[in-house]
Amino acid sequence: MADRPVNGPASQTLSRGIRLLEILAGQTEPMSIATAAAQLGVHRSIAYRIVRTLEDHSLVERDDAGNLHLAAGLAALAQHVAKDLQAAARPELGAVADELGMTAFLVVLENTTCITLLSAEPREGPGTVSRRPGARHPLEKGASGVAIQAAMSDAELTALFEGRGIRPEVGLARSRGYAVSRNEVIEGLTGVSVPLTAPGRPPGAVSVVYIATPFDNETIGARLRQAAAAIAARLG
């Protein structure tokens, strides 16, 4: 007889390990094991054991100062997530990054969280801000969150946010076709984003972030809409 799944309590250690990966994905500064322990609400010795396990699987690494960073093993895993979507988006993101001279990235929705699935940086020009795959932020924040909300119905948003209300920026994004935010996800950065919709898929977003640019946001929004349409067509 085939084994049947057993209902029972979730693994606390596994949950903490996954939570640590989520925390590191959202970090912009180095994180010590002591800080990780505080974020997880556990003793430092427990955090150390979690880190050692993640290191053994090449999911986390420590630099010379002992600070924690996501490791290359995550990138290998990420290559197999939504492979068709990544394949469709990769050339478009690269073209946007090179043409606008800023980091371009693809965001997907998971519950009420925006997750960066894929990113591209320009091959030439001044330094840009990186946006690593796996980075997360709440759906209620940032241009990509607003753009995704703009692709959803008011009823869907009301149910999702349990009646907390819809940001006025959502209506503005619907009318002009793109969303803009500043200092909402990362201090000092402006984000521009457009919805990405394809049949049978939850809404996503094609986005860029910049510190300064010669392009106005309307021009950026138009270029992102072109990229989103091309990605949707590739997914056909």
Of the pLDDT bands very low, low, confident and very high (cuts 50, 70, 90), residue 69 is confident
Is a pLDDT exceeding 60 seen at residue 5?
no
Mean of the per-residue pLDDT values of the chain:
86
Cβ pair 206, 198 in contact under 8 A: no
What does the pLDDT read at residue 4? 46
Over range 2-17, report the average pLDDT: 66
Q: What gap in Å lies between CA 106 and CA 93, rounded to an integer?
A: 8
Helix (H, G, I), strand (E, B) or coil at 217: helix
Collapsing DSSP states into helix, strand and coil, what is residue 83? helix
Convert the pLDDT of each residue in 154-208 to its tens digit. 998 888 888 777 889 999 999 999 999 999 988 889 999 999 998 878 889 999 9
> Rounded CA gap, 176 and 155, in Å?
21
Is the pTM higher than 0.75? The answer reads no
Q: pLDDT-based confidence at 135, cuts 50/70/90?
A: confident
The region of weakest confidence among 23-27, 68-72, 149-153 is 23-27
